[in-house]
Amino acid sequence: MIVVGAGLAGCEAAWYLAEHGVQVELIEQKPLRRSPAHKSDDFCELVCSNSLKSDDVFGNACGLLKEEMRRLSSLTMMAAERARVPAGGALAVDREQFSAYITQTLRAHPNVTVSVREQTELPQEGIVATGPLTDGALYEAIAARWGAGLHFYDATAPVVTAQSVDMSAAFTADRYGRGTGDYINCPMNKEEYETFVAALLAAEKVTLKAFEKREIFEGCMPVEVMAARGKDTLRFGTFKPVGLAQEDGARPYAVLQLRRENAEGTLLGLVGCQTNLKFGEQKRVFSLIPALRNAEFVRYGVMHRNTFLDSPRILRADLSAKDAPRLFFAGQITGVEGYVESAATGILAAIGAYRRMQGKETLVPEDTCVLGALARYVAAENRHFQPMNANYGILRAMDVRDKKEKKQRMAERALAEIERFRGAL
């Protein structure tokens, strides 16, 4: 079977199939051709952030999805554990170690053959997991078959060197003490915060076409767009000081957090600071934060297009095409949003493709678990379809008033469903 694309979804699909005895041709265009957002030759390059979000199984929907994936022998979860960097209650990874582990694991698998070439047409069967930056001939083939793909724009955050951060103007702590002091916090007083916001709003941005400005995904909203909603928007969101006290016990007016980008801790990402500012402006504006006054920027934030299918019209819940039951799609191109969500759909598409090879009916877990809920969201009739993250709102409702108890019970129900689903395979 062919799997097109060696991102998170494609690698999960190739892994599942190979582990079940299928000879897999994994088609990847790098290093022959790269998208503007990709730099590495390795598989599963994490472009936007090194965080796979919360690891709380019983208090966060994305944390719950991770546990569902672990129970389905996820390659992403294996790699994340080996490349984990301290990040409080989140699962963050060293990007290079993470990608290298997956690349080496798949290249060494006896059932996987890697073909470096550009896929220029839709295959009759197999799994297409070409990601949110699908373009060129394959994009044109998709558009010719089902109509032009949908798209939105998201942004990435800058990265600085740890040694260039002024620790005399920063402190180490995790919000509410959850973790082992994994975040570096850059506090601002009222005057410093207002100066920063004013500079952020006045800074020169990369010019976007009119339609691009209307199609930015809320979950990756540029920090300057958030700031434009009101001077205190950042202070009650990305820069909120709640749960972060300085050594003298005082709570800052606002806080920018830095998180490790690699295992050594030599690189730090600006948490929640996705941006579309011009590179020189990024350095000027973020350097107004006292702890970053001499910061060395090793990567600047960028904005890029994400493409996704009108999946309710095109796909079934098992992620196969309605007009081609042996052709499956996986990853962000299906209309899920996020690293973990993308990888999870790779597992589900592979399960469906494998069962079709065996002449069996495909199986989809119920919407009582996150994987099943995402799959059913993608396929449900929706004239205003937009990408979706893992969240409790897409899970089957549960009539429990206490929020903590509700999340606990929903997690228990979800894991029971994944066990049932796994047993039925």
Query: In the predicted model, is pLDDT for residue 94 greater than 70?
Result: yes
Give the pLDDT of residue 211: 38
Around Cβ 359, how many Cβ atoms within 10 Å?
Answer: 6
Spatial separation of the C-alpha atoms in residues 106 and 103, rounded to whole Å? 5
Dihedral through CA 384, CA 386, CA 391, CA 396, nearest 10? 40
What is the distance between the alpha carbons of residues 277 and 203, in angstroms, rounded to a whole number?
Answer: 7
Q: Which residues, 6 or more positions from 154, have their beta carbon under 8 angstroms from its beta carbon?
A: 48, 216, 217, 219, 220, 274, 303, 304, 306
Q: What percent of the chain has pLDDT over 70?
A: 95
pLDDT band per the 50, 70, 90 thresholds, residue 212 = very low
Parallel/antiparallel/unpaired status of strands 150-155 and 303-308: antiparallel
Range from 23-27, 150-154, 367-371 carrying the lowest mean pLDDT: 150-154
pTM of the predicted structure, to 2 decimals: 0.77
Q: How confident is the model at residue 232 (pLDDT cuts 50, 70, 90)?
A: very high
Q: Which two tokens stand for residue 181?
A: 């002091």
Which residues fall within 8 angstroms of residue 150, CB to CB, at 6 or more apart? 307, 308, 309, 310, 385
Q: Would you state the pLDDT for residue 299?
A: 81
pLDDT tens column, 157-184: 898 999 999 999 999 988 887 777 889 9
Q: Which domains does the chain have, with CATH numbers?
A: 2-151+305-424 (3.50.50.60), 159-301 (2.40.30.260)
Q: Rounded CA gap, 186 and 165, in Å?
A: 9
pLDDT tens per residue, range 337-369: 889 999 999 999 999 999 999 999 999 999 999
When pLDDT is averaged across residues 56-75 and rounded to a whole number, the result is 97
- C-alpha distances in angstroms, 245 versus 178, 236, 237, 269? 13, 16, 17, 21
